[in-house]
């Protein structure tokens, strides 16, 4: 790896984030209704992931806005439980915050499955526009009914396949591969449709399963592949970009209700400050992470457009098979929002 390049990128982005935070703090009026609080935030990734940059920006914002009255305690690598367990703790009011991918939570809110549909977004700009716009707010409103408050959408990113069998250069190369997928039916269906032996598994179990040969493959963004050190137990990485997964910064609904309006607004504002830093860091480091995992021995390949179209065509029926579970109006809504965004 090249830690110097990553460190320089992080320092540059952190300086930009801190400048923004200070500007917000200077512009904010004095806040009277602020209590001393300790907020626990957990997530499934390691502290080397760009989520950490967002958390630090959020921490600085909270400290500035509350004059140091709030303490943010962070826990990494599923040390307080996986994403679903942590989210259930939020719903029960025994933990304040979790930063989680949308995918593990479809059992709590089926509409989140819309973000698991294959090849939904063409690029990060489309994802930002949809998530930060009316459609994203509609999903957040539904989450509130499930007992959690979505403070902001952060970025997990476009997902790519790694494996230890062969380079994936065509639709046929998926055949028979034992692929870890997230624990939801849409990812399971997508990869079964591609011909793999798809195996749902919690993220915290993936490295060991790859190391022992229990599975052949997994799929994640380049940054997660690097920070999770999957290059130690995988040989090939293929640029499939088959899905874009958001992170959400979720807060406990029961605890949120005990906060003053001023405190609630601080949570929203600081999560957005963290979002902007986290997304910028994630995107700046994605190409570097790809270079780093190649330097650590992984063989990289891209797929030509004809094969990518074969793959997209193969998984197109996944949309119709899961529309009823996700909500037909939700699937139609995101299709409409994307069509409008694309000028169709």
CB atoms near residue 181 (< 10 Å): 24
Residue appearing with tokens 């992080």: 10
d(CA 226, CA 219): 12
pTM of the predicted model over 0.95: no
- The per-residue pLDDT for range 42-68, each reduced to its tens digit, is 999 989 899 999 999 999 999 999 999
| pLDDT, average across residues 159-185 | 96
- The per-residue pLDDT for range 301-338, each reduced to its tens digit, is 999 999 999 999 999 999 999 999 999 999 999 999 99
Query: In the chain, how many domains are there?
Result: 1
Q: Which domain range does residue 277 map to? A: 3-341
| pLDDT, average across residues 80-88 | 94
Report whether 147 contacts 213 (CB < 8 A): no
Which of 199, 198, 194 shows the shortest CA–CA distance to 173? 194
| pLDDT, average across residues 134-139 | 98
CB atoms near residue 31 (< 10 Å): 15
Return the exposure string of 132-161: e unless at least 16 CB atoms fall within 10 Å of the residue's CB, then b. Answer: eeebbeebbebbeebbbbbbbbbbbbbbbb
Model pLDDT, residue 104: 87
d(CA 56, CA 214): 36
Instruction: Decide if pLDDT at 19 tops 50.
Output: no
Instruction: Decide if pLDDT at 1 tops 80.
Output: no
Instruction: Decide if pLDDT at 31 tops 80.
Output: no
| pLDDT, average across residues 82-98 | 96
Q: What average pLDDT does the structure give for the chain?
A: 91
Distances (CA, A) of 68 to 21, 23, 59, 60: 14, 17, 10, 9
Distances (CA, A) of 236 to 76, 279, 293, 296: 27, 26, 10, 11
Residue 178: pLDDT band with limits 50, 70, 90: very high
d(CA 195, CA 205): 23
Structure tokens belonging to residue 221: 């963004």
Model pLDDT, residue 20: 46
Residue 240: pLDDT band with limits 50, 70, 90: very high
Report whether 301 contacts 176 (CB < 8 A): no
Residue 32: pLDDT band with limits 50, 70, 90: low
Instruction: Decide if pLDDT at 173 tops 50.
Output: yes
For residue 325, give the CATH number of its domain. 3.40.190.170
Model pLDDT, residue 182: 86
Model pLDDT, residue 10: 52
Return the exposure string of 209-228: e unless at least 16 CB atoms fall within 10 Å of the residue's CB, then b. Answer: bbeeeebbbbbbbbbbbbbb
């Amino acid at each position: 790896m090249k830690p110097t390049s990553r460190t320089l990128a992080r320092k540059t982005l952190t300086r930009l984030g801190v400048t923004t935070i200070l500007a917000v703090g200077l512009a904010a009026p004095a806040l009277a209704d602020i209590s001393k609080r300790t907020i626990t935030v957990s997530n499934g990734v390691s502290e080397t992931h760009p989520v950490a940059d967002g958390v630090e920006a959020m921490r600085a914002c909270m400290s500035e806005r509350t004059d140091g009255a709030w303490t943010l305690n962070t826990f990494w690598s599923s040390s307080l439980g996986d994403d679903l367990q942590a989210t259930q703790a939020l719903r029960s009011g025994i933990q304040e915050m979790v930063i989680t991918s949308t995918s593990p939570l479809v059992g709590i809110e089926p509409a989140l499955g819309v973000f698991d549909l294959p090849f939904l977004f063409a690029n990060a700009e489309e994802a930002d526009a949809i998530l930060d716009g009316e459609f994203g707010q509609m999903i957040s409103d539904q989450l509130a009914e499930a007992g959690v408050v979505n403070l902001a959408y952060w970025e997990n990113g476009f997902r790519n396949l790694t494996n230890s069998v062969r380079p994936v250069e065509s639709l046929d190369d998926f055949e028979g591969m034992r692929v870890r997928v997230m624990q939801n039916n849409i990812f399971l269906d997508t990869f079964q449709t591609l011909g793999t032996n798809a195996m749902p598994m919690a993220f915290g179990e993936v490295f060991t399963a790859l190391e022992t040969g229990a599975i052949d493959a997994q799929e994640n963004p380049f940054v997660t592949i690097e920070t999770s050190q999957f290059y130690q137990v995988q040989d090939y990485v293929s640029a499939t970009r088959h899905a874009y997964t958001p992170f959400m910064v979720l807060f406990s609904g029961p605890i949120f209700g005990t906060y003053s309006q001023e405190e609630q607004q601080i949570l929203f504002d600081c999560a957005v400050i963290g979002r902007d830093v986290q997304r910028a860091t994630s995107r700046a480091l994605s190409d570097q992470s790809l270079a780093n995992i190649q330097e650590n021995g992984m063989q990289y390949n891209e797929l030509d457009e004809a094969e990518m179209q074969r793959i997209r065509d193969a998984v197109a029926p996944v949309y119709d098979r899961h529309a009823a579970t996700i909500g037909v109006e939700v699937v139609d809504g995101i299709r409409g929002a994307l069509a409008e965004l694309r000028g169709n």
